[in-house]
A and B are shown apart, each in its own frame.
Chain A
Amino acid sequence: MFHKFDLGGITRELWLTPTATGYRLNVLDAWSGPIALTDEGTGRGRLTVAGFSEAVAFVVDGDLIHIHMRGRTRSLRYLDPLRVLASVDSDGGHNVARAPMPGTVVALKVAPGDAVTTGTVLMVIESMKLETQIRASQDGIVERLHVKDGDSFDRDAILVTLLQGT
């Protein structure tokens, strides 16, 4: 079975196979070879890929894996197959506007029941010193506003649900 990880917006598919000495990593259409990770405790270790080994620091936080290696930091998200299906199902017929960044609601521009067309400004948010307009990505009816004036939210939080078409 494949496992999916999101790295910088790109979904990568991989699986591990056990070997006599550890694991073989198989990245779909990309790479296959032996890998090993020695855990030196408290999220530090040495990663060996095809015989080449180097220091790595990592933290697993739910479905997020934060890694520091080669002077760079990346966060990968494990895309749990069950959760991916659930989210597709519940969003059937709906279109959600998500927060592009963490911030605060400055002004709501629509109310539930309003008809909107692609590009209609749904709300104005502020993140640090930047004001950003959140616009409808398609035509629809405002079903629900998930935030009110002054509310703070994290990146990817659902701000508005639109009911598609009429």
Chain B
Amino acid sequence: MAAASLPFDTVLVANRGEIAVRIIASLRKLGVRAAIVHHEIDAAAPAVALADVAIKISGKTPVSAYLDGEQIIAAARAAGAGALHPGYGFLSENAGFARAVAAAGIAFIGPTPEVIELMGDKIRARNFVARGGFPVAPSAIEEDDPSTFLARARSIGAPLLVKPSAGGGGKGMRIVRDLDLLDDAVAQARSEGQRYFGDGRLYVERYVEKPRHIEVQVLGDAFGNVVHLFERECSVQRRFQKIIEETPSPALSAKMRQSICETAANIARAAGYRNAGTVEFIFGGEEFYFLEMNTRLQVEHPVTEMITGVDLVAEQIAIAANRALPFRQSDISARGHAIEARLYAESPERGFSPTSGKVLMLDYPREQGVRVDSGIAEGQSITTAFDPMLAKLIVHAQTRDAAVTKAIAAVQDLVLLGCETNADFLARVLGDPGFRNGAVHTGYLDENPEIASGPNDAPDDVTRFLAVAALVTRPVRDAAEAVPALHAAIGRWRN
């Protein structure tokens, strides 16, 4: 696929961090110019340096700049961009933005605004999927009849999951195991929904105990062709945020895999889905329920790329250029096992609280079969202005066991000094016997808090860290030099 065959020669990347770097990599491969918008705070970020054109945008907060559709479309025009890639988060699932981009004569690299409206809204998506005869969990939707909402929620029975309808990424979600606490959970979820999404509408659904999060990657083109690229399992989560993702899922039999993947492709087909999307399911026991559809590229898309060899971003661009999918379902095969670990600026040992600092030393593993998608560079400041994800380490091996071993080595080889990260924790999760056996679920880390808190350092390790600290701290060495060797040999009794 050469650039000459595409109807545009420049694409605007309307995102930041590792995903902006990732998108630029595919644009390069296709011979397309990369333009990028950025807030001042990201001026030193690798994505800005990699782009052919960088345009500054501003806002009250850094995040608000990346949410300012008008500025971004103006930047796309100024850069002469014929298409715009929204990445994930920010405006990627905003139908109004997708519409405005198209109205400006720029191809939006994503689904149509109508499909974003249908599948991006949890309630509409769920109703649509249920009407199509696909499996959904029992639920109560507030806006069906607000006056009976709580009663309908109660009648589903505990445990329940309360969610903001406009939400995503786990924000505002509450699990209710005791129905007496339902009113409080509803009030809190409403306030958080209002704060994060400007929308206090809620819905409640049956919470599956020990649920596993399994999602399916789909691709659809403008000609009605839809394929799936197998599943990803993302059950290792904290507060509904994914930490480790893998494919294939160790939980699925071959028959179940085929069933869940075909269901996802059929849902996408029913929605007239175009571009890359992900259908998420809750899997428990031997059943799965539709959870939601993400109408964009996912953070964890690289594991799918590792086992299928398909460049999902390049396919997204080709689809937006009105090209037909270059493969059929039977052409897509999976090879080996891939695992992704997300590097976050946070301290699992202190309740996952976010960390900040400056990247003083950064060195990624360079082993074969290890891919690093990173949005940071040495000298860059890590702030709490954005999502705390810094980079992703993705490994590929022939078997799951080999992939786990490789992932542990990759996480341990990674050197990032100056900002505390969750790297130690990632190694603990990957090395946990439950994870090794594939026996995890979305509540696994909550049930095993010792994985997050970690063991105390062994005395031998403490000695070694202290030895380095002592030798590189000037006043400590100076004090040692000030003591004549003879006295020092006798020890502190002479002091």
Interface residues of A (CB under 8 A from B): 1, 3, 5, 7-8, 12, 14-20, 23-27, 30-31, 35-37, 43, 47, 49, 56-61, 65-76, 78, 80, 100-104, 127-130, 152, 154-155
> Is B480 positioned at the interface, with any CB of A under 8 Å from its CB?
yes
Contact partner of B472 (CB less than 8 A), chosen from A12, A30, A37, A68, is A37
Number of A-B contacts (CB under 8 A): 179
- Contact of B481 with A67 in the complex, beta carbons under 8 Å: no
- Residues of chain B within 8 A (CB-CB) of A7 are 457, 462, 465-466, 469
- Known contacts A43-B361, A69-B464, A102-B354: does B384 contact A128 (CB below 8 Å)? yes
- Contact of B418 with A59 in the complex, beta carbons under 8 Å: yes
22 A-B pairs with CB atoms under 8 Å apart are A1-B479, A17-B488, A23-B470, A23-B471, A23-B480, A30-B463, A43-B417, A58-B468, A59-B418, A60-B472, A65-B469, A67-B468, A67-B469, A69-B464, A69-B465, A71-B412, A73-B416, A73-B417, A102-B384, A128-B388, A129-B170, A155-B356
- Contact of B464 with A12 in the complex, beta carbons under 8 Å: no
- Residues of chain A within 8 A (CB-CB) of B477 are 16, 23
Beta-carbon contacts of B407-444 to A below 8 Å, as 1s and 0s? 00001110111101101100100000000000000000
> Is B473 positioned at the interface, with any CB of A under 8 Å from its CB?
yes
- Residues of chain B within 8 A (CB-CB) of A23 are 470-471, 477, 480
- Known contacts A18-B483, A59-B417: does B464 contact A129 (CB below 8 Å)? no
- Contact of A25 with B466 in the complex, beta carbons under 8 Å: yes
Select from chain B the residue with minimum beta-carbon distance to A81. Answer: B475
- Contact of B473 with A78 in the complex, beta carbons under 8 Å: yes
State in angstroms the CA–CA spacing of A128 and B479 once bound together: 43
- Residues of chain B within 8 A (CB-CB) of A26 are 492
Beta-carbon contacts of B3-16 to A below 8 Å, as 1s and 0s? 00000000000000
Interface residues of B (CB under 8 A from A): 169-171, 196, 239, 346, 349-350, 353-356, 358, 360-361, 363, 383-385, 387-388, 411-413, 415-418, 420-421, 423-424, 427, 457, 459, 461-473, 475-477, 479-481, 483, 485, 488-489, 491-492, 495
Contact partner of A129 (CB less than 8 A), chosen from B171, B416, B489, is B171
Shortest distance in angstroms between A130's beta carbon and chain B's nearest beta carbon? 8
Shortest distance in angstroms between B115's beta carbon and chain A's nearest beta carbon? 27
- Residues of chain A within 8 A (CB-CB) of B459 are 30-31
Contact partner of B464 (CB less than 8 A), chosen from A15, A49, A130, is A49
- Residues of chain A within 8 A (CB-CB) of B361 are 43, 57, 59, 66, 68
A interface SS class: strand
- Residues of chain A within 8 A (CB-CB) of B470 are 3, 5, 14, 16, 23, 25, 35
Shortest distance in angstroms between A73's beta carbon and chain B's nearest beta carbon? 6
State in angstroms the CA–CA spacing of A26 and B493 once bound together: 13
Select from chain A the residue with minimum beta-carbon distance to B459. Answer: A30
- Contact of B353 with A25 in the complex, beta carbons under 8 Å: no
State in angstroms the CA–CA spacing of A80 and B361 once bound together: 24
